[in-house]
């Protein structure tokens, strides 16, 4: 595998078609420290890309309208089911890739969670992602990024200190059908550590033959680099935090120049 060559958005999204069956059991979302205050008084939150949905219970409790947007139809279908189960009362959906994200005129808060920002940035870099997100939302809308902190203690899917290229047994979970699944992970950085490719394999029972393999590429950006790219793309800083291996950034959309 080659950590220097990003794969296209279509291929990235297509890879989630096979992961959806496990994703709902596998997901271990960490509520951003900045989310509860950001939701207070908000009318519409857009989660993009939502995967199977990250903070649906928090949205339901805050009684906000929710719009779930993702490039993968199967992930979106699962997110819709989970939103209903979480008690989200007003739900909108959109099936879009980042580069075709339409205008979201009612978006008050956009949430880009769980390292999705770093994944979106893999083909084009963080500045292009932030510019695209700015184009989609109205002036004064806010953006909450939960980006991987390259100097943090690690997340459920990336550990900065994991020895390079070595498999580790990183997660065990039970599917809704009662199957116990073991997840194994191996990481490959570019020499300057600006990008990481993460391989996952999933096995069940005593068999070492994977039932599924997956690969995620992330651009690793320092919080300073993200802030500077955000400013260039027309985002004003509001507040920030470091929490559970993530750098969180709350931004506000400035006037379009």
Ligand X SMILES: C[S@@+](CC[C@H](N)C(=O)[O-])C[C@H]1O[C@@H](n2cnc3c(N)ncnc32)[C@H](O)[C@@H]1O
- Interacting residues with ligand X (CB under 6 A): 9, 12-13, 16, 49, 51, 70-72, 75, 97-98, 114-116, 119-120, 157, 216
With beta carbons less than 8 A apart as the criterion, state whether 139 and 255 touch.
yes
* Shortest reach from residue 14's CB to ligand X, in Å: 8
Q: Which is nearer to ligand X, 21 or 216 (CB)?
A: 216
How many Cβ atoms are within 10 Å of 79's Cβ, its own excluded? 29
With beta carbons less than 8 A apart as the criterion, state whether 36 and 97 touch.
no
Q: Which is nearer to ligand X, 9 or 233 (CB)?
A: 9
* Shortest reach from residue 70's CB to ligand X, in Å: 5
Q: Which is nearer to ligand X, 244 or 254 (CB)?
A: 244
* Shortest reach from residue 76's CB to ligand X, in Å: 8
* Shortest reach from residue 159's CB to ligand X, in Å: 12
With beta carbons less than 8 A apart as the criterion, state whether 75 and 101 touch.
no
With beta carbons less than 8 A apart as the criterion, state whether 120 and 131 touch.
no
Which residue's C-beta sits nearest to ligand X? 71
Torsion of CA 75, 76, 80, 85, to 10 degrees: 20
Q: Which is nearer to ligand X, 73 or 89 (CB)?
A: 73
With beta carbons less than 8 A apart as the criterion, state whether 95 and 76 touch.
yes
Chain centroid offset of residue 122 CA: 12
Q: Which is nearer to ligand X, 13 or 229 (CB)?
A: 13
What whole-number distance in Å separates Cα of residue 171 and Cα of residue 23? 12
* Shortest reach from residue 255's CB to ligand X, in Å: 26
């Amino acid at each position: 595998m080659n950590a220097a060559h990003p794969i296209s958005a279509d291929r990235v999204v297509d890879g989630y078609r096979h992961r959806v069956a496990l994703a709902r059991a596998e997901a271990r979302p960490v509520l951003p420290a900045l989310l509860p205050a950001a939701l207070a008084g908000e009318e519409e939150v857009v989660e993009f890309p939502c995967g199977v949905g990250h903070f649906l219970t928090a949205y339901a409790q805050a009684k906000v309208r929710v719009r779930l947007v993702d490039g993968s139809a199967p992930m979106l279908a699962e997110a819709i089911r989970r939103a209903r189960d979480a008690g989200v009362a007003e739900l909108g959906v959109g099936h879009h890739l980042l580069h075709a994200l339409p205008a979201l005129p009612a978006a008050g808060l956009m949430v880009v969670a769980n390292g999705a920002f770093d994944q979106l940035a893999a083909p084009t870099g963080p500045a292009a992602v932030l510019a695209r997100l700015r184009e989609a939302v109205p002036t004064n809308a806010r953006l909450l990024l939960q980006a991987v902190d390259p100097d943090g203690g690690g997340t459920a899917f990336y550990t900065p200190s994991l020895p390079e290229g070595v498999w580790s047994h990183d997660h065990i979970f039970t599917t809704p059908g009662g199957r116990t699944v073991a997840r194994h992970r191996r990481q490959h950085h570019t020499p300057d550590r600006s990008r990481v490719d993460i391989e996952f394999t999933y096995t069940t029972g005593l068999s070492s033959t994977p039932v599924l393999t997956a690969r995620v590429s992330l651009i690793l950006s320092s919080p300073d680099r993200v802030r500077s790219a955000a400013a260039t793309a027309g985002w004003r800083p509001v507040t920030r935090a470091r929490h559970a291996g993530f750098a969180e950034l709350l931004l506000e959309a400035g006037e379009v120049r």
